[in-house]
Structure 1
Amino acid sequence: MAYVGIDRVGKSYGSPRGPVLALEDISLDIRAAEFVSILGPSGCGKSTLLKCIAGLEPVSGGTIAVNGKPLTGPPEGMGMVFQRDVLLDWRTILDNVLITAEFAGTPRARMKPRAVQLLTRFGLGGYEDRHPWELSGGMRQRAAICRALLCDPDLLLMDEPFGALDAMTRDDLNLELARIWNDTRKTVIFVTHSIAEAIFLSDRVVMMDRNPGRIVEVIDIALPRPRPLAIRETPEFGRYVAHIRHLFARLGILKDDTP
């Protein structure tokens, strides 16, 4: 049985000119402990689909089930990382991470050692008493990931969390996320615009097109783990990149750069 089961899901929004169809006939089964990336252009409904899986947006048709239970709201055991870090500037970094425990009704004192451990793992040891406005964008996003991981979720949803970061910071966080996944085998659904990032991190890459948002292909990534960044320079990696770029070019999403 799929851990996340998406069956013929559609999503539409109302507008003065009539309904706008954001997602159409989305069906996908995601196994427990699988890392799946959703890849596609802006406006294809990647983030909308993720919000539906998170129980933050109701579907207009079809069903979504997590761990065999149809969604009626956010599923149990879920953590989420958004495009922006959404940290609270008036709280310290440690208090921002511990807010997850507060929402869960778990005593702060019980979760504080884990929060400190996560911050240290993500290179924020010694910054526990700083405020978000004292940190760089990359450091803030690391804190947001720690917040999502605090209660050890079984399902981790990530909505293009590294899109606003510089290339070196993005590479560093890709490596740390891969290590976290290798250590914990959480079920991860990761939204991205980056072809290389999707291939590097994932077991499968779900390619989407727009108008309306729909799945056009699901690609199994048969690269060995753990994966160093140097794997991106191998012929095997290059073949995945070329395949995805070619399909997006046929769809008119990317220009065909064939001479």
Structure 2
Amino acid sequence: MNATVRPVPYVAIANAGKVYPSSHGAVTALSDINLDIRPGEFISIVGPSGCGKSTLMKCVAGLETITGGTISVAGQPLSGPPDGMGVVFQRDVLLDWRTILDNVLLQAEFMGRPRAQYRDRAMQLLDRFGLGGFEKRHPWELSGGMRQRASICRALLCDPDLLLMDEPFGALDAMTRDDLNVELSRIWQGTNKTVLFITHSISEAVFLADRVVMMSRSPGRIVDVIDIDLPRPRSLSIRETPAFGAYTQCIRHHFAELGILQE
């Protein structure tokens, strides 16, 4: 009988740690992180403030260097930001002196690619995210939600294989956040990208993910990984189902046992 062949991880994190020096002694931000992310998988990471979620994402992005263990992307050990990566930060980091279209095209400029080659795609992304007609506006003329939509367009411009998102919707109002959750889920299903999504929201983590990674602080470590077996495509109404509630309750209960949440 042939054994089941498991896909090679697109992101492989093995025994990874991160220690920061300080005047009061070393601070361990991450300890013994082990996680394999399959190609095309949507992973949500949820945990309390200070647990190292953002630090882990920066390490996967090649923006921070781990002090122990290994991280590889697409089979290659990290030695800096990997090829085929897009990043969306909690703040939109748009340049106020550039138009929205020019901000989106900035991704192509960073990668040394001709702007003209990506203009049509930029316009298509802006239309898809409800920003059609705003391409000549400047960031200071847009709401926070519209600015974050533009930052997502920028990250998607060059069609990355790996999309890293660090609490991208955390500062948005509830209705805008819900809308972007649904749109992100649709885009992911249509493109098969590998996504690592950082959030404080248990509900958001469950709604978006194939698996939810739970992290605890002091030092930052993975305490559990929950498989989310909910049908796709997912509409917001799935949050009212018993199955969805069972997942969120399970995660909350686990955090409560760790003393992170009260039940």
Range class of TM-score, shorter chain: over 0.9
Which of 117, 121, 129 pairs up with 1:114?
121
The answer to whether structure 1 residue 74 and structure 2 residue 81 are counterparts is: yes
Partner secondary structure for residue 39 of structure 2: coil
Distance 1:80 1:14 in 2: 26
Q: For residues 187-210 of structure 1, what are the alpha-carbon distances to aligned partners after superposition, in whole Å with 9 as ceiling and x for unaligned?
A: 000000000000000000000000
Alignment partner of 1:190 out of 174, 184, 197: 197
* Equivalent runs, 1:99-178 vs 2, <5 Å: 99-178=106-185
Matched, 1:86 2:93: yes
Aligned-partner Cα distance in 1 for 2:90–2:235: 25
> Structure 2: how far apart are the matches of 1:175 and 1:227?
8
Q: In 2, distance between residues paired with 1:140 and 1:106?
A: 23
How many residues of Structure 1 are paired with residues of Structure 2 in the alignment? 256
Of the three residues 11, 23, 26, the one matched with 2:18 is 11
Tell me the residue number matched to 1:63: 70
List alignment gaps of at least 5 residues for structure 2.
1-7
**Gap runs ≥5 in structure 1:** none
Q: Which residue of 1 is the match for residue 248 of structure 2?
A: 241
Rounded Cα–Cα distance in structure 1 between residues aligned with 2:45 and 2:195: 11
Question: Per-residue deviation at 1:106?
Answer: 1.1
Amino acid at match of 1:54: A
C-alpha distance after superposition, 1:53-101 (max 9, x if no partner): 0000000100000010000000000000001000000000000000001
Aligned partner of residue 98 in structure 1, secondary structure: helix
* Correspondence for 1:222: 229
Q: 1:5-44 residue pairs with structure 2 within 5 A? A: 5-44=12-51
Write the distance in 2 (CA, Å) between the matches of 1:69 and 1:61.
17
State the identity as a percent.
74
Work out the CA distance in 2 between the residues paired with 1:124 and 1:67: 33
Secondary structure of 2:204's counterpart equals helix
Letter in 2 for 1:40: G
Matches of 1:96 and 1:14 in 2, distance apart? 35
Aligned residue identity for 1:22: A
1:5 deviation in Å? 0.1
Q: Distance in 2 between matches of 1:170 and 1:244?
A: 21
Tell me the secondary structure at the aligned position of residue 256 of structure 2: helix
How many Å separate the matches in 2 of 1:167 and 1:153?
28
Q: Under a length normalisation based on structure 2, what TM-score does the superposition of the two structures give?
A: 0.97
In structure 1, give the amino acid aligned to 2:69: G
Instruction: Measure the CA separation in 2 of the matches of 1:84 and 1:109.
Output: 27
The aligned amino acid for 2:87 is M
The residue identity in structure 2 corresponding to 1:53 is V
